[in-house]
Amino acid sequence: MMDITLFSPKGKLSTYFFPSNQQSNNGQVSIDMQSNNSNQQQPQNSHTSTSRSSDSVEPCATANKWASKLLKECARAISDKDSSKIHHLLWMLNELASPYGDCDQKLASYFLQALFCKATESGHRCYKTLTSVAEKSHSFDSARKLILKFQEVSPWTTFGHVASNGAILEALEGETKLHIIDISNTLCTQWPTLLEALATRNDETPHLKLTVVVTANIVRSVMKEIGQRMEKFARLMGVPFEFNVISGLNRLGELTKEGLGVQEDEAIAVNCIGALRRVSEEERRTVIQMFQSLGPKVVTVVEEEADLTSSRYDFVKCFEECLRFYTLYFEMLEESFVPTSNERLMLERECSRSIVRVLACDDNENDEEECERRERGSQWCERLREAFSPVGFSDDVVDDVKALLKRYRGGWGLVLPQGDHHDSSGIYLTWKEEPVVWASAWKP
Amino acid sequence: MATNRFLCEICGKGFQRDQNLQLHRRGHNLPWKLKQRTSKEVRKRVYVCPEKTCVHHHPSRALGDLTGIKKHFCRKHGEKKWKCEKCSKRYAVQSDWKAHSKTCGTREYKCDCGTIFSRRDSFITHRAFCDALAEETARVNAASTMNLAVGNNISYHLMGTPLGPSMAQHFSSIFKPISGTTDETIDQTSRGLSLWMGSQGNNNNLQEIHQLGSVSSGAIFGTDPIVSITNNPSPPQADYQLNWVFGSKLPTSNAEALASTSLPLSDVKESVTQLVSVPSLYSSQQQSSHQAHSSANMSATALLQKAAQIGATSTDPSFLGSFGFKSNSNQVQEGNKYCGLVYGSNTIASGLGSDHHVVLENSVSSDHISTLNQLQMYPAKRRHLQSEDSNGGGQTRDFLGVGVQAISCHPSSINGWI
C-alpha cells in the first residue's frame, strides 16, 4: 500500500497514512470518529484510512458508547451538584466498570475513580496512594521492559524521538562538543539511536554530554541504572560520552546554566518530551525563559495533543477533553498490544494517576505533586514563540518519521502543517486521523 | 569515454578500474606466486576532487581512477537523489542505492540475549538496555594489574582495549599461536581481559557477576572455534560473526560476514584492526576509574568444569584463542590479579580451584561483534583506519557486499604528485 497524500479542504495540511504491510486490507473501513465533535480545531479530513484489518476487535468503536455517556453525565451532575444523580450514576458506573474489561469498561473504571474523588474531595489522598503504590512496584527492569515493549508496538513515543533526534543532529552538525539537556519521560530510550547516529554519521565523532533532569520520584530511582547502561553503550559505539543526572529539583524553573554544567564551548540542545505539561501553568513562561538563558542551538518539544489547561476551571469541559484524549489512548493501546499483554495493563494503570490528578486535585493545593495539564501544540507554540522561533523539520527527518511509521501496524498518520506557518508549527502524529502527539523544534 | 586500460594478462579482458581487474584475476585460480600483481604498474593518482573544501581536493590525497573520484564526489558533495523506500535512507550514487535496496529490510538483527529484531532502531535501543550488554562490560573490567600465569600449552592473551593506533600492536600479539609458553605480563593500566566461553550454559552463571565497572574492552575476539567443540547443539549465532576474520567459521546469519570469508589473510589484520578500532574509542580515564577492585564473587565451578572438558585444541593458528578465563580472585597472590588462561588447559583450569573467582565471558564478543557488523557498514571511522597500516591501496569494501553507504577508500602511499 502506498502512502495516501491528502489535502484538507482548506489545502493547508497534508496527511500521510501508513497502512501496514502486515495487515490484509479488506476494503475501506470507515472509522468511527466519535471523538470528532469535540475537536473544533482539528483539520477536517474527509477521507478514510484503509489501514484497519477487519478482524481486529473494536469494542471501543461501536455506537454503544455507554461509558462515555454515563461518565459525561456524571461529570455534569457533579458540576451541577446534583447529589442524587451523582450517586445514581456513580453506582451504575461502578457496576459496569472494570479495569480488565473492554475499552468502555476500562475507561469507566479509571474515570469513575476520578469522579468519585472529585465528588468526595479525596483527590489528593487518592493520588498519593496511587503514587506510592506505583513507586513500590517500579524497578529498572519493569520500567525498561514496559517502555521498550511500548515502543515496539506503537510509535507513540518513538515518533517524538525520531523527529527530535533528527532536528538535534542537524542543528548541531559540525559541532565537536555537544551538550544535550534532556527533560523527558522516556527513560533515555531516545539516546541509543542518537549515539549510533553520532558514531556512524561523521568522520569525527563529537563528544556528547547528556544531562538528564529528573523530577518524578519514580524515575529518579531507575536513573542510576539507566545512566550506567548509557555509558556502556556509548563506549560500545565509540562516542566520548558523559552522563549526568539532575534530581531533587522542586521546580524546573530553578534550573540554571551553572546548575546544569553548561560550558561556554558546548553546543547546547534542550530536549523536552512530555515535560512541559508537568510544569504548573503559571511557571511555564519562566521555564521557557530559562531554556532561552541556556543559549541552546535547538530546543525540541514533544507533547501529547490535548487541552487540559484552558479548561481547568470548567470541570465539565475539562472532563470531556480528558475523556476524549484517554479514549484515544486506550483504544490505541488496545489495538497495539496483544489482548493478554501485561504491559498494556500497566500503561493503563499509569494513566489513572494522571486522570485523578487533573480532574480531582486542586492545582494550587499541593505544590509538590506534579500536575499534568496538557496543552495542544498550537498553544505550546504561542508560549514558545515568545523566546524562540520555529524550525521546520527537514525533508530528511520527515522521511525518517514516515519510514518509522511504516514499520508499525496501520492506523498511524503524519500531519505536516504547510503554507501558513502561523500558530501551526511542528508535526503531528495521528492515530485514526486524530492528532495525538505533537513534535516541534525551535531555535533562538 | 571510459577506456579499459587494465588488462588481464591471462585472458586479455579489459577493465576500467584496477579493482575490478583484481577481482577478475582471482577467478583464474592463479598459483599463489602469481596472485600478486605481476606488473606493479605505478598507478598515478591523478584525480582530484573539484570541491575545494574537500580533503581530496589536494593532490596529495588524489584518487586513482575516474569512477572512484566521481563516486566520491557524488557521495560526499552531491545531492542525494536516490532514496530507499523502506527506510528513507538517501544516496547520491545510484549503485549505492541499488545495493542497499537489495538488503534493506531483509536483515535481521540479533541481540546476544537471543531476541531478534527486524527493525534496526528497536534493535539498537534494545541493545543499549539489554542485560547482556551490562554483564559483559562488568566482566571485562579488571583491576589495575593483571598477572598472567604461564603453563604448559597455555599462553595468555589479553584482550586489550587500547586506544586508537595502539590497537595494532595488540593484534600482533594476538596473532601468536596458542601453544607455546609465552610469558606475558603486560601493564594493565589499559587492558581488559576478555574471555570467551562460547557455551550457552554460562548464561546463568553470568548473572552472578557483580558489576565490576564499565569498560567495554576489546571484546573483539569473542568467537572461538572451541565453541564448536562444546556440546552446543545450536552454537550461538552471534558468536560467530567475527569468525570470518580468522577464516575459520562461517557465521550462520550474516551475509556480509559470509561474503568476507574470502578475505586474504593479509587483509584480515587490517580489517580486524579496523573493526576493533571502531568501538574501542573511549577515554582512558574511564579505565583507570574502573580499576577499583570489584568483588566479583563468582562461583564458577560449573564453568571451570566445562573449561576443563575442553581440550587444548587450537584449530587455527591464526585464530587467537583469545579467550581464557579472567579470574578475579582475591586470594590469589597479591590483591586482585587476573589470570588469563587460554582455553584448553586442564591443569590450569583445575588448578584454579574453587577459590578463584572466575569470570567467563559468553557473549562479550558477540555483543561487540554484532555491533561491529552493524558498524562495519559505515565508513565512519576513517581516522582510525588511516592510522593503521594500509595493506596496499584502494581497498574498498565493495566485495564485502556492504555497499550500504559510501565505501571508504584508503589511500595508500602516495606514489607521486600530480
Chain segment B110-166, per-residue pLDDT in tens = 888 888 888 888 899 999 998 877 666 555 554 333 433 333 443 333 333 334 444
Question: Is some CB atom of chain B closer than 8 A to the CB atom of A62?
Answer: no
Q: What is the DSSP letter of A411?
A: T
Q: Would you call B129 and A148 a contact, using CB atoms and an 8 Å cutoff?
A: yes
> By CA distance, what is A226's nearest residue in B?
B129
Residue of higher predicted confidence among A251 and B347: A251
Question: Is some CB atom of chain B closer than 8 A to the CB atom of A400?
Answer: yes
Q: Which three cell numbers stand for residue A98?
A: 472494570
Write b or e for each residue in B275-287: b if 16 or more Cβ atoms lie within 10 A of its Cβ, otherwise e. Answer: bbbbbbbbeeebb
pLDDT in tens, B400-410: 444 444 434 44
Q: Which three cell numbers stand for residue B87?
A: 527506510
The pLDDT assigned to B34 comes to 57
Q: Which three cell numbers stand for residue A88?
A: 445514581
**B61, B129, B216: best to mutate for the A interface, most A CBs within 10 A:** B129
pLDDT in tens, A31-46: 333 333 444 444 444 3
Q: Using CA atoms, how far apart are residues A24 and A248, in angstroms rounded to an integer?
A: 50
CB-CB neighbors (< 8 A) of A237 in chain B: 279, 371, 375
User: How deeply is B129 buried, as exposed, middle or buried, from its count of CB atoms within 10 A (0-12, 13-18, 19+)?
Assistant: buried
> By CA distance, what is A230's nearest residue in B?
B128
Sole residue written with cell 454515563: A70
Q: Which three cell numbers stand for residue A302?
A: 514533544
Poorest-pLDDT segment among A385-389, B9-13, B101-105, B397-401: B397-401
Among A328, A353, A311, A362, smallest CA distance to A68 is for A328
- Give the pLDDT band of residue A19 (cuts 50, 70, 90): low
Question: Is some CB atom of chain B closer than 8 A to the CB atom of A396?
Answer: yes
Residue of higher predicted confidence among A216 and A57: A216
> By CA distance, what is B164's nearest residue in A?
A238
Among B265, B200, B202, smallest CA distance to B234 is for B200
Q: Using CA atoms, how far apart are residues B320 and B329, in angstroms rounded to an integer?
A: 25
**A142, A193, A236: best to mutate for the B interface, most B CBs within 10 A:** A236
CB-CB neighbors (< 8 A) of A148 in chain B: 122, 125-126, 129
The pLDDT assigned to B350 comes to 40
Q: Would you call B371 and A236 a contact, using CB atoms and an 8 Å cutoff?
A: yes
Contact A307, A378 (CB under 8 A): no
Sequential DSSP letters for B272-334: HHHHHHTTT---HHHHHHT-SPP------HHHHHHHHHS----S-TTS------EEEESSSSS
Of A233, A236, A403, the CB nearest to B86: A403
CB-CB neighbors (< 8 A) of B279 in chain A: 235-238
Most confident of the following: A191-195, A361-365, A395-399, A413-417: A191-195
The pLDDT assigned to B68 comes to 82
Question: Is some CB atom of chain B closer than 8 A to the CB atom of A157?
Answer: no
HEC per residue, B133-180: HHHHHHHHCCCCCCCCCCECCECCCCCECCCCCHHHHHHHHHCCCCCC
Contact B366, B112 (CB under 8 A): yes
State yes or no: pLDDT of A247 exceeds 50.
Answer: yes
Facing residues of A415 across strands?
Answer: A15, A428
The pLDDT assigned to B35 comes to 57
For residues B310-321, give the mean pLDDT.
Answer: 41
Q: Using DSSP, state whether A208 is helix, strand or coil.
A: strand
Q: Would you call B279 and A191 a contact, using CB atoms and an 8 Å cutoff?
A: no
Facing residues of A417 across strands?
Answer: A13
Contact B405, B385 (CB under 8 A): no
CB-CB neighbors (< 8 A) of A240 in chain B: 281-283
State yes or no: pLDDT of A182 exceeds 50.
Answer: yes
The pLDDT assigned to B320 comes to 36
Residues of B with CB under 8 A from a CB of A: 83, 86-88, 90, 119, 121-122, 124-129, 133-134, 137, 211, 214-216, 278-283, 286, 367-368, 371, 374-375, 377-378, 380-383
Q: Would you call B119 and A407 a contact, using CB atoms and an 8 Å cutoff?
A: yes
pTM: 0.59
Of A148, A201, A238, the CB nearest to B125: A148
The pLDDT assigned to B238 comes to 40
Q: How far B253 CA sits from the closest chain A CA (Å)?
A: 22
Average pLDDT, chain B: 53
CB-CB neighbors (< 8 A) of A236 in chain B: 133, 216, 279, 367-368, 371
pLDDT in tens, B33-66: 555 555 445 667 788 888 888 877 888 878 877 8
Q: Using CA atoms, how far apart are residues B177 and B179, in angstroms rounded to an integer?
A: 6
Q: Tally Cβ neighbours within 10 Å of residue A105.
A: 18
Q: Tally Cβ neighbours within 10 Å of residue A347.
A: 21
> By CA distance, what is B377's nearest residue in A?
A200
CB-CB neighbors (< 8 A) of A158 in chain B: 121
State yes or no: pLDDT of A221 exceeds 90.
Answer: no
Q: Is the interface score ipTM higher than 0.90?
A: no
Sole residue written with cell 489513572: A352
CA angle in degrees (0–180, nearest 5) for B292-B298-B303: 130
Write b or e for each residue in A174-183: b if 16 or more Cβ atoms lie within 10 A of its Cβ, otherwise e. Answer: ebebbbbbbb
Question: Is some CB atom of chain B closer than 8 A to the CB atom of A195?
Answer: yes
Question: Is some CB atom of chain B closer than 8 A to the CB atom of A98?
Answer: no
Residue of higher predicted confidence among B3 and B174: B3
Q: Using CA atoms, how far apart are residues A401 and B394, in angstroms rounded to an integer?
A: 37
Q: Would you call B215 and A235 a contact, using CB atoms and an 8 Å cutoff?
A: yes
Q: Would you call B368 and A236 a contact, using CB atoms and an 8 Å cutoff?
A: yes
- Give the pLDDT band of residue A213 (cuts 50, 70, 90): very high
Contact B153, B348 (CB under 8 A): no
- Give the pLDDT band of residue A288 (cuts 50, 70, 90): very high
Contact A344, A103 (CB under 8 A): no
Q: What is the DSSP letter of A309?
A: S
Sequential DSSP letters for B41-90: ------B--S-TTSGGGSGGG-BS-HHHHHHHHHHHHS---EE-TTT--E
Q: Would you call A237 and B279 a contact, using CB atoms and an 8 Å cutoff?
A: yes
Residue of higher predicted confidence among B100 and B272: B100
Instruction: Report the greatest alpha carbon distance in chain A.
Output: 71
> By CA distance, what is B89's nearest residue in A?
A400
Of B122, B216, B280, the CB nearest to A232: B216
Residue of higher predicted confidence among A414 and B369: A414
Q: Please give the distance of CA B369 from its chain centroid, rounded to a whole number.
A: 6
